Amino acid sequence: MQGVSSLDELTAVRDKYLSRQRGVLALEMRKLGSLPSAERPAAGQLLNRLKGVVTEELERFQEELKSSANAVRLKTEFLDVSLPGFPYPEGKIHPIRRVWREMEEIFVRMGFSVETGPQIESDYYNFEALNIPKGHPARDDQDTLYISDNLVLRTHTSPVQIRTMEGKEPPIRIIAPGRVYRRDAVDATHSPMFHQIEGLVVDEGITMADLKGSLEAFFQQLFSPDTKIRMRPSYFPFVEPGAEVDVSCIFCSGKGCRVCKGSGWIEILGAGMVHPKVFSMVGYDPEKYTGFAWGMGIDRIAILKYQVEDLRLFFENDIRFLSQF
């Protein structure tokens, strides 16, 4: 069997000697017929013994070949299962979506339910019902992306207030997060698409103190338990009175720093008491019900929370930026 190193070669050897048609032993067997009858039995026995020895030897050698092939495989295909694995790139939730979820979770814990509305909105829901009649500066072509005379890409999440109030009676306690659109050129602090969370609470006896308390409780959970808020008089057509709401600077705790420009406060949202005209539009009795509403930018909160200086980074979706969150 020297010179045989594979099972294929072994098969060739087996065929050469044992093949029923052309094998050496078969040919010898056939020659038996030409021997004198006295010699045939002895020659036959001899050939049969030889066949037995050859068969046995081939089988033994086949086993040897198989086990040495296994030994080679075990050596070359060895896998150390105790080695550390290859690192896998991991998907992350977009930072805007993370902040969105976090804000939503806080409000839901406070008893608010989540409402949504269409991003393509009618003039009525985006403006008219929110006490922004035709000719009002807030619906200037400069700010609004019109789809047709009567359809716009919503400029705020406030239309969801109207849709919610049309659909049910007070008490109402909702937030409405979503995308909004303005005709703004892209720069570090502006984007034609951004995100807001609208809030609306309507019931009997709701006051501005409830507005302040709700927002303060929210920001203390979002930022830190010692966060304070303050309100400054402001004007929005759908509230009366209206207010700008500032939070104490989350970077210097109110002492004054670069982010808050030394004031200790950061301007963060617009809010106010729902205008009686808005209640009338949805069929609520303004003598019976009062309520408050706000709209705040999710992107603005994300900028503060993650100390990102350029809004564009959130929307360019560069994986090197996004993988840091």
Out of 10, 99, 162, 249, the residue judged to bind Zn ion by CB under 5 A: 249
Indicate whether 250 belongs to the interface with Zn ion (CB under 5 A): no
The residue among 29 and 257 lying less far from Zn ion, judged by its C-beta, is 257
Residue with the two structure tokens 């032993």: 25
Main-chain phi, psi angles of 252, to 5 degrees: -120, 10
Q: Round to whole Å and give the CA distance between 261 and 263.
A: 6
Closest to 110 measured CA to CA, from 260, 213, 255, 223: 213
Under rule CB under 5 A, residue 222 binds Zn ion: no
Is the Cβ of residue 54 or residue 252 nearer to Zn ion in the bound state? 252
Q: Which span (126-134, 166-174, 239-247, 254-262) binds Zn ion, by CB under 5 A? A: 254-262
- What residue number has its CB nearest to Zn ion? 249
Give 249 or 274: the residue with its C-beta nearer to Zn ion.
Answer: 249
Interface segment toward Zn ion; rule CB under 5 A; list 84-92, 122-130, 157-165, 256-264: 256-264
Please select the residue that binds Zn ion; options are 257, 282, 313, 322, rule is CB under 5 A.
257
| Residue 290 CB coordination number (10 Å) | 21
- Pairwise CA distance, residues 209 & 290, whole Å: 12
304 binds Zn ion (CB under 5 A): no
Q: Report the residue number, 152 or 308, with the smaller CB distance to Zn ion.
A: 308
Residue 201 token pair: 């609470």
Q: Which stretch binds Zn ion (CB under 5 A): 7-15, 70-78, 153-161, 244-252?
A: 244-252
Give how many residues touch Zn ion by CB under 5 A.
5
Judge contact between 176 and 117, C-beta under 8 A: yes
Picking from 231, 113, 93, the residue whose alpha carbon sits closest to that of residue 171 is 113
- Whichever of 132 and 249 has its CB closer to Zn ion, that residue is 249
Q: How far is CA 103 from CA 19, 90, 208, 248, in A?
A: 83, 24, 21, 18
User: Which residues does 28 contact at the CB level (< 8 Å), separation at least 6?
Assistant: 47
172 vs 304, beta carbon nearer Zn ion: 304
Establish if 260 lies at the interface with Zn ion (CB under 5 A): yes
What residues form DSSP beta bridges with 219? Answer: none
Q: Kindly state the smallest distance separating residue 263's Cβ from Zn ion, in Å.
A: 8
Integer angstrom CA distances of residue 55 from 29, 47, 52, 61, 260: 16, 12, 5, 10, 95
**How near is the Cβ of 222 to Zn ion at its closest, in Å?**
16
Binding site for Zn ion (CB under 5 A): 249, 251-252, 257, 260
